[in-house]
Chains A and B, each alone.
Chain A
Amino acid sequence: MTSFFSNIWLLAKKELADSFSSSLLYVLTGFFSLLMGWLFFNYLVLSSEMTAGTLLQSVFNPIFGNMNFIFLFFAPLLTMHSFALEKRQGTLGLLLLSNLSHIQIILGKFIAIVLSTIFMLSFTLILPLILSFAGYSQWALIFTGYAGIIFSICCYVSVGIFASSLTDNPVISAVISFCILMGMMLIVLSANASDNPIVGEILSYLAIPFHYEGFVRGAVKSYSLVYFVSVTGFFLWLSERSLESRNW
C-alpha cells in the first residue's frame, strides 16, 4: 500500500517541479489573483452594508461563483499538457514501461495539477483575511466555499486529464476539455427549461453549479459529495481506459 502511494507521489513530485518551473502557472496565478482582487474590490464597494450576512451574499458568493467560472477556462490550460506532451515528446512509453500502473500515472498527474491550482487559490485567502479586520467572522462558510471550489476543480482536472489522454495536441486537448466542461455547466439551462419536474431534477443533479452553489451557501449535501467524487472518478477511469487502449 505504501509503495502504491509512494509511486503516485514520485510522479506527482516530478509533475509539480515541472509546473513550478514553467511560466504558465505563474502567468495564470498572477492573472487570477489580479482578477480576484479587482472583483473583490468592486463587490466590496457595491456592498451597501458591511454586516457579516450582506458581505457573504454580496461579496463572497459572487466571488466564489466567479472563481468557479474562471477555472472552467484555466483547468483546460493547466491539464492540456498532462498526457498530450508526454505523447509528443515520446515519454509516455517510459511511464507505461515503468513499475507504475496506469492508475498510478493518472493519479500522480491529477494530484500535481490539483496542488498547482490550490497554490493559485491560496493567494485569494488574503480576501477573507482583509475582511476579518473589519469584523467578518463566518469562517465555516469560507471553508465550505473553498471546499466546494476544490471539489469542482477536481472534476475539471479529471475532465482535462481525460481530454489530454485522447490526443498528442495540447490545443485540441484544451478544446475538448473546455467543451465537456461547458456542456456540464450548461446542463443547468436545460434543467430550467424542462417542463417535466423529474427530468428537470435529474438534469440539475448532473450540472456542476447545482452542487457547487450548495457548498458556497454552506449547505453541504452528501449527494453533492457523491456527485463530485463520482464525476472525478468517472473521468479518471475513462483516462485509464484511454491509456489501456494504447496496448491494443
Chain B
Amino acid sequence: MSAVLEIEGLRKTYRSRKRGVRHALDGFDMQVEAGQVHGFLGPNGSGKTTTLRTLLGLIQPNGGRMAILGQELPRALPAVAGSVGAIVESPQFFPHFSARDTLGLLARAGELPARRVDEVLELVGLRDRAGERVKTYSLGMKQRLAVASALLKNPKLLILDEPANGLDPGGIREMRRLMRELAESGMTVVLSSHILGEIQLICDSVTIISLGRRVAYGPVDEVLAAHSQNAVRVRLEAVTDLPQAAETLTRSGIRVAATEADHLMLAGVDKPAVVSRLLAEQGLYVSELTPVAVDLESVFLELTATAPVPGQHRQVDQSAKVDQTGTAGGWGA
C-alpha cells in the first residue's frame, strides 16, 4: 500500500514573552496508508489540531516534512487541496446562511457541479433541513454539515476532527457506517476523536500523540497487542486462600499485579493454564481464570499518562512524552 499522508519530524514552536517557548509539535511523525481509516488520538493540547492545521496550510511549521498523495507540502498544497476534504475542530459556518447556501458557495468556489450539494446533503441526512439557517441547527446538525462540506469534493483523503462530537447515538452509528463505506470506496480517512471505543471499532490503524510527539502507531490490533500485559484475573473457590495463592504464584515467577478482596490480577501470563496447574498442586482450586483484554482507552491512558489519579487534578499539558522511536515498529509499520 502507498502512503497517502506522510509527516516526518514536524515541529511547531510558539514563543511568547509571557509564557516562554512551547513546542506544540516536537518532531512528530505520522503515516497513513491508502484506503485506511486511521485514528489520530491524543489528550487535549497534545498537538492533534496543530498537526491537522499545519498539514492543511493553516499553520506554518518550524521544521519537518509533510506530504499528501506523494506531493510535498506546503508547496504542492494548492495542487492537492482539491483531493483533501477536512473539518478542523468545531464546525464553523456563517450562521445566517442555509446549509444549501453554505455548500453551494463552497461548491462554486471549488468549481463543482451543483448536484454534488444535494448528494452530500442526502449522505449526511440533512436533505430535509437544507433550507434552514445554520444558526437554527443543533451541534450535531452542524457536525453533519461540516462532514458534508468535507465530502463535497469527493476527496481522496478525508480529515475529520471530532466528527462524532454532538451526534446522537444513531448519528454516531451512521457516521461509523459512513466512514467504513468511504474507506471501502477507496477514500482514506483520518479521524481525530476522543471516543476511543469508536476509534477501536472503526479504525484500521492509529497514531497516538502526546506533548507533540508520537507515542504509538500502527494497526489497531498491533498497538493493542504491544501494550497488552497478558493480564489474567483469578478467583478461587475460597477467598481466604488468596494470600497463599499469591505467594505460590510469586514464588513461581508470575507477577501478581494486584490482590483484590475477591480476586487476584496477574500480569505477564503467557499461558493461563500454568496458573491453574500451579495452584492445583497446592490444593488451591480456581473458580475463574479470565484473560483480561486490553482496550484502546487503557492503552491511550497508559501511553499518555493521563489516567485520572484520585485526589489529583491533572493539568492540560501533563501527559507523557517518549523518545522519537515510538512503541511499535519503525516508520511505516
| Genuine A/B complex | no
Where the two chains meet, the residues of A that have a C-beta atom closer than 8 Å to any C-beta of B are: none
